[in-house]
């Protein structure tokens, strides 16, 4: 299949780290709005988090994603790029050439990247959300549900990422680390198809024919637009995923994906779309940052 292109992995690693640092405060607010209780709107959530937990509350649970999402992002970018390259070369039977990319190649490579992202990212997302949600306000009306015998809500359930992992494995087994994986699969497979494919075509469309490759500005713009397109459809399932993963910190509320969708719609109706809009803005910001970092590494620090 030709040589493995390591710059895809390196650029993805740095882009992933940059996106975590820039996007984590927005992601914390998004998670609290999606899975928490007692927040009226976005501004109310921001004020409440700041008042109760100071500015550090917005970065709660960032250490684990910062250490792991960089690797996760690296693998996703690397898997997509190398799978797409392998498919194109195999189709044209020219291992050393750079054959044109087809929609089918991009589609299959995106699907593979989506499946890989669930295997690597499921536990990462779970730990991050559990750490973000453990200090949320707890509504008395929920006490009729099956709750766990643990410390009062004012006391954090987890002391950090390692303690969170060991607690989940001890109480729920290894399968507990993949809570919400089915919703994540339904989010990531179509989500990455609607991310990578528009990104590739938009970056090529923005780049003048005289240029050998897209500029950092073109990559930055195409990445943000692709992120908006992707999350316009993927975010509803991301809300379901977040609620399933947050479920279990203090109580077990949902029986599965369909039950979560049903309960969310019955209680909130179309208001849940507002959470999708906020996530759309949050993820587009991360896409701008990640793709810009990716392009800088790709253009200025070649490794092949």
> Given pLDDT bands bounded at 50, 70 and 90, which one contains residue 151?
very low
Residue 145 lies in a domain: no
Number of domain units in the chain: 3
Closest CA to 34 of 276, 295, 294, 297: 276
50: in domain: yes
Greater confidence (258 vs 143) lies with: 258
Is the pLDDT reported for residue 281 higher than 80?
A: no
Confidence of residue 143 (pLDDT cuts 50, 70, 90): very low
The pLDDT of residue 58: 82
> Residue 105's domain spans which residues?
68-92+101-138+157-178
The pTM assigned to this predicted structure is 0.70
H or E element in which residue 215 lies: none
Structure tokens at 97: 């050439």
Q: How many CB atoms lie within 10 A of CB 10?
A: 19
Supply the pLDDT for residue 169: 92
Q: What is the mean pLDDT of residues 101-111?
A: 91
**Strand, helix or coil for residue 39:** coil
Q: How confident is the model at residue 266 (pLDDT cuts 50, 70, 90)?
A: confident
Q: Is 13 contained in some domain?
A: yes
Phi-psi region of 211 (alpha: psi -120 to 50; beta: other; left: phi over 0): beta
- Shared domain check, 77 and 53: no
Same domain, yes or no, for 190 and 173?
A: no
The reply to whether 294 and 193 lie within a common domain is: yes
For residues 189 and 293, state if they share a domain: yes
Q: What is the pLDDT of residues 185-230, one digit of tens each?
A: 999 999 999 988 998 888 888 888 777 777 777 777 777 788 778 8
In a domain, 37, yes or no: yes
What pLDDT sits at residue 78? 82
């Amino acid at each position: 299949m030709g040589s493995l292109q390591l710059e895809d992995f390196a650029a993805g690693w740095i882009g992933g780290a940059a996106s975590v640092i820039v996007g984590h405060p927005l992601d914390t607010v998004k998670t609290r709005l999606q899975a928490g209780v007692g927040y009226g709107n976005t501004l109310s959530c921001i004020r409440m988090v700041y008042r109760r937990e100071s500015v550090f509350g917005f970065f709660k649970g960032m250490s684990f994603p910062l250490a792991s999402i960089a690797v996760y992002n690296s693998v996703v970018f690397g898997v997509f790029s190398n799978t797409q390259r392998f498919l194109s070369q195999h189709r044209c039977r020219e291992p050393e050439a750079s054959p044109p990319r087809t929609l089918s190649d991009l589609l299959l490579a995106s699907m593979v990247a989506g499946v890989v992202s669930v295997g690597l990212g499921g536990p990462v997302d779970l730990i991050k959300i559990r750490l973000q949600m453990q200090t949320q306000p707890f509504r008395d009306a929920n006490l009729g549900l099956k709750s766990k015998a643990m410390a009062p809500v004012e006391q954090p359930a987890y002391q950090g990422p390692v303690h969170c992992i060991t607690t989940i494995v001890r109480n729920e087994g290894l399968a507990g680390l993949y809570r919400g994986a089915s919703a994540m699969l339904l989010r990531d497979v179509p989500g990455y198809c609607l991310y990578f494919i528009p990104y590739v075509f938009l970056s090529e469309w923005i780049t003048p024919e005289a240029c050998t490759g897209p500029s950092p500005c073109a990559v930055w713009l195409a990445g943000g637009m692709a992120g908006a397109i992707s999350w316009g459809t993927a975010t509803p399932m991301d809300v379901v995923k977040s609620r399933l993963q947050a479920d279990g910190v203090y109580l077990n509320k949902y029986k599965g994906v369909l039950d979560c969708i049903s309960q969310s719609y019955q209680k909130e109706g179309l208001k849940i779309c507002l959470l999708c809009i906020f996530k759309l803005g949050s993820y587009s910001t991360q896409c701008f940052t990640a793709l810009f970092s990716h392009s800088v590494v790709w253009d200025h620090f070649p490794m092949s």
